[in-house]
Structure 1
Amino acid sequence: MHSRSAVLLALLTLLLCVPPVPASATAGPYAEIDAYVRDRMRATHSPGLSYAVVGRDGPLHQRTWGTDGRGERVTPRTPFLWGSIAKPVTATAVMTLVQSGRLRLDDPVTDRLPGFRFGGPAHAAKVTIRHLLEQTAGISASATSRVTDCHGSGCPGAAGRLGALDGVEPLGPPGTKYAYTSANYLVLTAVVESVTGRPFADHLRQAVFGPAGMDGTVADAGSVRRRKLPPGHQFFWGVPAATADGFDEHGAGYGYLGGDLDDLAAFASLQLRAGSPVLTAESARLMRREGRVQGGAGTGYGLGWRVGGLDAPLDTAVWHTGATPGYSAMLFLLPRQNVALVLQQNVYGLTQDAAIMQVGFGAARMLAGAEPGDAPSASGYLLAVWGLTAVGLALVVAAGRSVQLLRRPASAPPRIAATAAWTVVGASPLLALVALGGVGQLRPLLTWVPDAFVAGCATACAGAVLAALRLTLAVRAPSAQWKRIRQRRTRFT
């Protein structure tokens, strides 16, 4: 009995002498990354986020926080949209056709799409599949809005949108200028549909999703309904609101593609396994080789992947970011560590891009063994949109003052200089809005920066009313004076 007591006492003494384990150690090797991601979520007011560190055989670590656009808890099965991460997925699908011999990288696009007339027949005939993949077809970034972000049931398919590129001036001969635009990948969508004879989303499922184990992907309207995709969040004067529920039925090739955390992790695992059943080692190598343009300058873009272009230790990373209205995502392949990092958020603002995307860049740097780096601020945009709003409110106040003046009897005519100044001030926002509409930028503004669009429209309307009121005051005063003169003459006569 005494010996048992002695043993228990010795064990208790030993336990008391063992130093406590730090909280970070108990949380695992990724605790600091977890803490950093949470801090960035708070800084950018991101409602929901999920991320994973991925190895060749699947996730090594994953976390989810926050809520979706319906207020439900984010889990590894919550679907997000991935934006331009669709581009490496599309490039992978194209490479499966190249591997099977159904397509060649240097095939002219017009061989598959006779109606492709971008830049005129002579230019279009020289554009190849490779040019589209590496973003050197000569299509400018400004042409993107002509063929993308079409929300609603009446939107034409990929091939039906190509005519909008006919009048776009090429940046140069194919293969000589790099310009990142989703229009290239919309053309690729049409090419794949022409080669396979079926919808692009069906080819993705057969060639990529199925073999990779991406069972919950969102690639068309049917999968959006099945997965019950929640709306994403857009910023309105700095506050995220779940208003982004638009979906481009034919946009899976360039940006309207998504899924849950397991799906995105499965795609990253597939890319880490060079020589997998989907991609041969040679195909993977070609995709991750930096493209070249005339003169030997690197594009920083491979076949669907961004290659390098970041500070060490991410200088060898193969990566892509993506966004749709309301959603953002990032994927980094880190060859030195033979791991990947995937991250998705249910918030996006075009003018807050750097601040929102920093969470992925910082987490990837930490995974590669470095400090996360400084975080950009979105305060400049907030100042701009609130400034525009303040201008609109000032014009409303000025218009109200003009209404009061109209209710009073006219005495002296307003000064010409003052009238001209108020008219110019009032009409300027409306003229700016008309000019933006003339170059086709109103729809992109509404899609990507809705608060600035609303503030701009309200300011333009208030300004137009003010200009009309000031002109009315200017015309009314002389008329009133002539009326008084006539009345005096009538009394004397």
Structure 2
Amino acid sequence: MSTDDAASTDDAATLSEIDAFVRGRLDTTGTPGAALAVIEGGRVVHRRGFGEDGRGRAVTPETPFLWGSVSKPITGLAVMQLVEAGRVDLDAPVRTYLPRFRLADPDASARITVRHLLLNTSGIPASADGEIGDRYDNAPGALADAVRDLARIAPTARPGTSYAYSSAGYAVLGALVEEVSGRPFGSYLHERVFDPLGMEHAVATERDFERERVAPGHRSVFGVPVRFDAPYDTSGVPFGHMGGSLRDLTRFVLAELDGGRLDGRRVLSTKGTAETQRGHVKSSVGRYGLGWSVGTLKGTGERMVWKGGALPGHHTMVVMLPDSGRAVIVLQNAYHQLRAQELGDAAFGAAQLLSGVTARTTPTDPLAVVLPWGLAGLAAALLLCVAAPTLRRLPGRRAAARARSRRRIVLTTTVSVAVALTLAALLWWLPSTLGGTPAMTLLWAPDVGWGLVAAVALALLLAAERTVLAALDLRRQRTAPDALRADPGASGTGPDVFPTAPGASRAAGEGQ
């Protein structure tokens, strides 16, 4: 298979249309920079950079990006290499090769096979990703340490019975490759995958990351892309922290389209490559292979093998149409969790145009706009509630003093505290409905995360404040002179009013 860029194609107008479409998607999502590659007939026919990277330089096909979960099919290929070498059996328990692998359920740990991990049917919940993901750990043995921490995770299903997307499972696969090969995972990838395929600037180690000077990506903050300069994460390489230039990823895709071979060098057999690209189990987005998602391209019915990947600040999409030797790759230097489908449209739409059908796009999820601003508004409202007792002391803002019975104090305080605590609990639980944690929300969707944390903190502060004020009210009622207790108009509401002397008049009380 040739890897040279073609000077022209039979339909240059289509490539111009694809360029315009991708540029339009970048404008819609506010993405500062991207790189596009188009493969047709088994050869690269187009490469293009758009916009700027996180350091203000023009994006080119040589600009390095991080690939997110597009790392998973590369990890799948590495595992299949060991399978074809006779060193790993797909249906053997993982602990055959990685004895230290443990979950909270010992029986399930012993029954999880290598195939289960590849297919995301191990029973490891998606929530486990929060336990080991985004650690930014580059210490020696970082990957092994991450896998060891899975011992706290309880499986949610019996191995092999249901699909649940799991980056944690792919971390275990990376540790397995390390154990079987006797090499750090990044070193193994360079020796057995990247170097044979000529992926000269691929990133799989902290040293690679620093050598290639990977530019910061961007996170969306209230619709504005904000640069995010994150460190590398060696512990996350098998499931998300591989990277490199558009040219590097293009070479990997060319090998996938040609049955595991590129420029006469083979990294996997044709049969093994086909096995990774076959949809083995039903997933949330079609079917899932050994690292790849499998489905059909909308509007064409053509078999599509694809993978999307994201990290805070980066988004990657590979769409392959193996039956026609076509593919589209789009790397973007921005990400927002609630706009993932819109970001993916750049590649899916380009593939549809390449196949001669109209590109489809996803409308912006209203939640992407409403949730950040709604949480910010809620936090502002809670702040006003917390500040209200102080505001009432300002000239012209204090209400006339009125007495309240002990029963009324207890009742109103109980209700307000219960509402505040319930609100805090619901807000803290909110990220779990999206498959994450508050910490992950702060990292992946900072505008949502900041609003969430602020609202929870203010709700808890409000509950504490109301409790303290009620206690003060009740104490003052107990210590107030008999004359004041007999004259309801002489006591204040809350801590605003204090009697000046025994027998103080209503006018004196109101004038304070």
- TM-score, length basis structure 2: 0.83
SS of match in other structure, 1:137:
coil
Matched, 1:133 2:118: yes
State the partner residue of 2:242.
257
One-letter amino acid of the counterpart of residue 485, structure 1: P
- Is the CA contact (8 Å cut-off) linking 2:93 and 2:112 kept in structure 1? yes
Structure 2 equivalent of residue 48 of structure 1: 33
- Among residues 322, 337, 348, which one is paired with 1:335 in the alignment? 322
What is the one-letter code of the residue matched to 2:403? A
Instruction: Report the AA paired with residue 421 of structure 2.
Output: A
Q: What is aligned with 1:475?
A: 471
Instruction: Give yes or no for contact 1:58–1:265 (8 Å, CA) kept in 2.
Output: no
CA distance in 2, matches of 1:189, 1:309: 29
Q: In the alignment, which residue of structure 2 is the partner of 1:462?
A: 458
The DSSP-based 3-state class of the residue aligned with 1:53 is strand
Provide the C-alpha distance between the structure 2 equivalents of 1:131 and 1:198, rounded to a whole number of angstroms. Answer: 23
Distance (whole Å) between structure 1 residues aligned to residue 284 and residue 339 of structure 2: 30
1:267-307 deviation digits (Å, cap 9, x = unpaired): 111111215211211111211222148xx999711111111
SS in structure 1 of the partner of residue 195 of structure 2: helix
Alignment of 1:226-265 (within 5 A): 226-265=211-250
Find the aligned partners of 2:256 and 2:70 in 1 and give their Cα distance. 13
Structure 1 unmatched runs, 5+? 1-23
- Of 55, 60, 63 in structure 1, the residue corresponding to residue 45 of structure 2 is 60
> Contact 1:291–1:298 (CA<8 Å) still a contact in 2?
no
Q: What is the CA-CA distance between 1:134 and the residue it aligns to?
A: 1.7
Match of 1:427 among 421, 426, 440: 421
CA distance in 1, matches of 2:401, 2:472: 7
The question of whether the paired residues in 2 share the 8 Å contact of 1:108 and 1:125 is answered with yes
1:74-153 maps to which residues of 2 (within 5 A)?
A: 74-118=59-103, 120-153=105-138
Structure 1 residues 455 and 53, CA gap change in structure 2 (3 angstroms) = same
- Counterpart contact for 1:118–1:124, Cα < 8 Å: yes
Residue of 381, 386, 405 corresponding to 1:394: 381
* Alpha-carbon separation, structure 2, partners of 1:451 and 1:155: 34
* Aligned residue pairs, count: 467
The offset of 1:100, in angstroms, is 2.2
Q: Does residue 370 of the first structure (1) align with residue 364 of the second (2)? A: no
Distance 1:388 1:129, change over 3 A: same
- Find the partner of 2:332 among 336, 345, 367: 345
Per the alignment, residue 403 of structure 2 pairs with 412
Q: Aligned equivalents of 2:470 and 2:412: distance in 1? A: 10
1:403 aligned to 390, 396, 401, which one? 390
Shift of 1:172: 3.5
Q: Take 1:128 and 1:481, find their aligned partners in 2: how far apart are those partners?
A: 69
For each residue in 1:37-72, what CA deviation from the matched residue of structure 2 results, as whole angstroms up to 9, or x when unmatched? 111111111111111012576521011111111222
Q: Which residue identity does 1:230 align to in structure 2? A: A
Residue type of the partner of 2:279? Answer: E
Alignment match of 2:207 (pick from 222, 241, 250): 222
TM-score normalised by length of structure 1:
0.86
d(CA) in 2 for partners of 1:298, 1:465: 42
Secondary structure in structure 1 of the residue aligned to 2:328:
strand
Mapped partners of 2:160, 2:476: distance in 1: 70
| Paired amino acid for 1:423 | V
Residues 164-173 or 125-134, more deviating: 164-173
In structure 2, what is the equivalent of residue 300 of structure 1?
287
How is 1:10-25 mapped onto 2 (pairs within 5 angstroms)? none
SS of residue matched to 1:125: helix
- Hey, what's the Cα distance between the residues in 1 that align with 2:260 and 2:29? 39
What SS does the aligned partner of 1:382 have?
helix
- Give me the whole-angstrom Cα distance separating, in 1, the residues matched to 2:105 and 2:462: 46
Name the SS for the 2:190 alignment partner.
helix
Name the aligned partner's letter for residue 404 of structure 1: L
Compared CA separation, residues 56 and 94, structure 1 to 2 (3 A): farther
Q: For the residues of structure 1 that align with 2:452 and 2:225, how far apart are their CA atoms?
A: 19
Q: How far 1:440 moved relative to its partner?
A: 8.3
Deviation of 1:316 after TM superposition, in Å, equals: 0.4
**Residues 338 and 474 of structure 1: CA distance in aligned 2, closer, same or farther (over 3 Å):** same
Task: Quote how far apart the aligned CAs of 1:26 are.
Answer: 9.8
Following TM superposition, by how much is the alpha carbon of 1:195 offset from its aligned partner in structure 2, in angstroms?
0.8
Decide whether the 8 Å contact of 2:127 with 2:436 is kept in 1: no
Q: Given residue 349 of structure 2, which amino acid in structure 1 is its aligned partner?
A: G
1:314-367 CA deviation, whole Å, 9 max, x = no partner? 540111111111111011111232121111101111111112211111111111
How far residue 253 of structure 1 moved from its aligned partner, in angstroms, is 0.8
CA contact (8 A) 1:55 1:339 kept: yes
Correspondence for 1:285 among 274, 277, 285: 274
**How far is 1:104 from its partner?**
2.6
Stretch of structure 1 that moved more, 219-228 or 168-177? 168-177
**Residue type of the partner of 2:441?**
L
Distance 2:287 2:299 in 1: 15
Q: Is the 8 A contact 2:136 2:235 kept in 1?
A: no
The answer for the alignment partner of 1:6 in structure 2 is: none
Distance 1:57 1:361, change over 3 A: closer
For the 8 Å contact 1:131–1:137, the answer to whether it is kept is yes
Q: What residue in structure 1 maps to residue 508 of structure 2?
A: none
Shifted more, 121-130 versus 45-54: the winner is 121-130
Identity of aligned residues (%): 36
CA distance in 2, matches of 1:156, 1:428: 42
Answering whether residue 437 of structure 2 is matched by residue 441 of structure 1, we say yes
CA–CA distance in 1 between the matches of 2:286 and 2:502?
86
